[in-house]
Amino acid sequence: YDAWLGTLEGTGKGTIEGAGAWFGTVIVNEQHEVIESARAEWCKAAEELYGIQPSVSQTAGEGASGLLLGTFGSSALLDEALGPDASSAVTGPEGFLIRADRERRRIAVGAKTPAGVLYGVFHLLRLLRTGAVPEELNAVENPVNGLRMINQWDNMDGSIERGYAGKSIFYENNRITENLDRIRDYARLLASTGINAIAINNVNVHRYETMLLTKEYLPDVAKIAAVFRAYAIKLFLSINYASPLEIGGLSTADPLDPNVRAWWKSTAADVYAAIPDFGGFLVKADSENRPGPFTYGRDHADGSNMLAEALQPYGGLVIWRCFVYNCKQDWRDRQTDRARAAYDHFMPLDGRFLDNVILQIKNGPMDFQVREPVSPLFGGLEATNQVIEFQITQEYTGQQRHLCYLVPQWKEVLDFDTYAKGEGSPVKRIVDGSMFGSRHSGFAAVSNIGDDTNWTGHLLAQANLYGFGRLAWNPELSAEEISREWIRQTFGAEEQVVRTVMGMLMDSWSIYESYTAPLGVGWMVNPDHHYGPNVDGYEYSKWGTYHFADCHGIGVDRTVATGTGYTAQYKGRNAEVYESPADCPDELLLFFHHVPYTHRLHSGKTVIQHIYNTHFEGVERADGLKEAWAGLAGSLPDELHGQVAERLAHQAVHAREWRDIINTYFYRKSGIADEQGRTIY
Ligand code: GCU
């Protein structure tokens, strides 16, 4: 339950020499709820890690030992301990400095704001939990991204859209829960990774959720906001674009209608009266049957700017999602290409959004598949605030029953060169705001937690939640480093455990990819719930997600020469590389091209043989995960070991289902036998 903030029995306790002197006292002289959270986190951890209950004092003499906490200038002792360069080293409001003084056995954590102090304390704990000794504790950190946001897809009936870890911790029976303790513990977990914003309801806003903006529900929303505020996390709400109709008594939601504009202004006033530091609105509009400005012949700039004006007096933000496409497509229509949609809708609007509007763009052009190219809106839009949206919840990557550590996937996306300003224009420089000098920018992701005791269903899926926060703070961290941090804090320092779990995590995305949809083509899942193989599940449906397999070949032709022209949405070399079947990277070949089964990949294999090989190997590798974990029995508490073992056993069986259905399907379509004569049905 404590995840990476806890301590497993027998790991790490009391291992620091002189811990009593270093950690016996906390000196803090500011009254601020976030600093109070920082102090409380420290005291709780000191007890768990070292069996020390630190005494708290407001003042101390020159030579005092212990932990000094505070904002710059809050005490002369702190400023002296941090040294003269402290305020220049910490560049922004959320950065911090940690300085150790070996002689005095004193550690100072300082920042410009209470939030920075909180991040500093969590970082200090991370360092100690991962084996640092107090003498060496010197660190300066500044977050790379401004907005580091979590999106809950929780509904007020207690269900969670695409949730695989139990029910909502926020709602039950169409009310906000009274159990704020669980929410507080979630806030602690999030803040410890550096998250600073959260939208607490599903982007699909239904009847009850629409009413969160009303005076009946706002007092309860304010209670949740207060819990998050103590951890420096701003609260946002997803809103229903049709609210003026549904709860406002108006006959239209037209963004240019004066009554609609007035209604949103007065609603914003109500929200800010209840929650003065409210973050703003997250909006899914004109997307998958949700209402939006299109109904009134207006565009997304009209729609979002109207909301932005209402929030602007309070410093609120409108986060407007770009997941807009035709979800009622005719599968017979080969010209409409869902991959093109976001770019086609939003590129013409670049520069028209007010500066408190941010576009939230999914990492790929489709929908969080195990493999897709990067959305061409990154590098396309130049004059618009942007955040990248990832999906921590594993909708298409095994639903937390299969192991799939997603940090390596996110790293690839962030490092992708968009050529927006020529070579060396990676996505991470766009979403951190530096490439185009955006006023607001950052990361958002769909959470993977629910009320399961271990939060994420699959215990090892905690690494994805942890990893998202860490990557949002600093995209330069490697996937290995993040996994090592997470493992050491969660399972302790035993080398065999660290090595084994890290190996499992680092291989898991590639394993999952190998036995599911091949070469970037995506989908092949059962409709609706999206779990398990169904090659033609979406082939003749309205959702725009096709693979076009026939007896000759497979893949989607998205070229300019003969296909949908999608490749032209990329810049520079990317457009050329994707346009050419000879140059296109193997892993995306079927996303961009329709090729014969006998087409030879760069790997030297034909497409059909690649499909067979990867699916056979994938099952072996899934078995390997199970065996690797079995080797840790006895090194971890039985209960924890058992729950993961159970999921890995299911994964191994389910990987066979994937293998056999995919291999059989393509064997029957192509009539080409496996070179190695393995069993295909
Ligand atoms: C996917 C997902 C939906 C979700 C949507 C979105 O399509 O399956 O459940 O609502 O993404 O991101 O809005």
- 390-416: pLDDT as tens digits: 999 999 999 999 999 999 999 999 999
Instruction: Identify which of 323, 359, 366, 392 to mutate to test ligand 1's pocket (most ligand atoms within 8 A of the CB).
Output: 323
Name the residue of 289, 321, 359, 395 to mutate for ligand 1: max ligand atoms within 8 A of Cβ: 395
Of ligand 1's listed atoms, the one at least distance from the Cα of 362 is: 12
For residues 353, 358, 362, 363, the Cα torsion angle rounded to the nearest 10 degrees is 100
545 Cα–ligand 1 center, Å: 14
pLDDT tens, residue by residue, 296-305:
999 999 999 9
The DSSP element (H or E) to which 489 belongs, if any, is: helix 479-491
How many C-alpha atoms does 249 have within 13 Å on its Cβ side? 3
The pLDDT assigned to 59 comes to 86
Phi, psi of 14 (to 5 degrees): 60, 30
Cβ-in-10-Å burial (0-12, 13-18, 19+) of 276 comes to exposed
Q: Other CB atoms closer than 10 Å to residue 91's CB: what's the count?
A: 12
pLDDT tens for 552-565 read: 999 999 999 999 99
Rounded distance from Cα 161 to ligand 1 centre (Å): 8
* Structural tokens at position 389: 């949206």
Instruction: Indicate if 576 belongs to the active site.
Output: no
CA separation, residue 645 to residues 498, 628, 636 (Å): 17, 10, 12
Give me the percent of the chain exceeding a pLDDT of 90: 96
- Out of 17, 181, 288, 583, the active site residue is 288
* Residue type, position 260, single letter: V
- For 219, counting Cβ atoms within 10 Å of its Cβ (0-12 exposed, 13-18 middle, 19+ buried), the class is exposed
Per-residue pLDDT tens over the stretch 138-178: 999 999 999 999 999 999 999 999 999 999 999 999 999 99
- Give yes or no for a contact between 605 and 614, defined as CB atoms under 8 angstroms apart: no
- Whole-number mean pLDDT of the chain? 97
Residues 304, 310, 312, CA angle at the centre, nearest 5°? 95
* Whole-angstrom distance, CA of residue 94 vs CA of residue 82: 16
Length of the chain as a residue count: 681
- Residue 320 Cα to ligand 1 middle (Å): 14
CA 531 – ligand 1 centroid, Å: 14
Q: What's the pLDDT score for residue 202?
A: 98
pLDDT at 9: 65
Which residue type does 93 have? P
674 in catalytic set = no
pLDDT-based confidence at 17, cuts 50/70/90? confident
Dist CA 650 CA 646 (whole Å): 6
Question: Environment class of residue 637 by beta-carbon count within 10 Å: exposed (0-12), middle (13-18) or buried (19+)?
Answer: exposed
Is 367 catalytic? The answer is yes
Alpha carbon of 191 to ligand 1 centroid (Å): 26
Residue 538 pLDDT more than 90?
yes
Per-residue pLDDT tens digits for 513-522: 999 999 999 9
Asked if 31 and 76 touch (Cβ cutoff 8 Å), the reply is no
- Is the model's pLDDT at 11 over the cut of 70? no
Which residues have C-beta atoms less than 6 Å from ligand 1? Answer: 161-162, 203-204, 284, 288, 323, 367, 395
Give the span between the Cα atoms of 622 and 658, in whole angstroms.
12
Kindly name the residue from 395, 507, 557, 579 that is annotated as catalytic. 395
CA distance 662 to 660: 6
